[in-house]
Amino acid sequence: DSGVTQTPKHLITATGQRVTLRCSPRSGDLSVYWYQQSLDQGLQFLIQYYNGEERAKGNILERFSAQQFPDLHSELNLSSLELGDSALYFCASSATGTDYEQYFGPGTRLTVT
């Protein structure tokens, strides 16, 4: 158990809908990262937050957005969902955002039908 929690574990929704994925980092960690893992693309970095501020952006679509709240939990919002958005979404956390070890949560499996 990494100490990172993600909810929900599974999510099934229809095309065009909007969903919110939630992540709580390890106690004391200030940085949160979101990743998408699909069978054909592997693990792709989406976005990083540090202490409430966006620090870096990867291959995140405009239909996706995220935020980190004052209590350091983070939410990833996915809208106008398409079949291709079906994937495992992982959240990871690290202490400072520049340290080398990231701790991954168990993931949310999103299925878009």
Partner 1 sequence: GQNIDQPTEMTATEGAIVQINCTYQTSGFNGLFWYQQHAGEAPTFLSYNVLDGLEEKGRFSSFLSRSKGYSYLLLKELQMKDSASYLCAVRDWYGGSQGNLIFGKGTKLSVKP
Contact residues toward partner 1 (CB under 8 A) are: 2, 4, 33, 41-45, 48, 56, 58, 90, 98, 100-107
Give me the least distance between CB of 80 and partner 1, in Å please: 25
| Count of Cβ atoms closer than 10 Å to residue 42 Cβ | 9
Q: Considering the complex, state which of residue 14 and residue 39 has its C-beta at the smaller distance from partner 1.
A: 39
Are 4 and 74 a contacting pair, CB within 8 Å? no
Q: Considering the complex, state which of residue 50 and residue 72 has its C-beta at the smaller distance from partner 1.
A: 50
Answer positive or negative: Cα dihedral of 93, 54, 100, 46: positive
Give me the least distance between CB of 31 and partner 1, in Å please: 10
Structure tokens given for 88: 């495992």
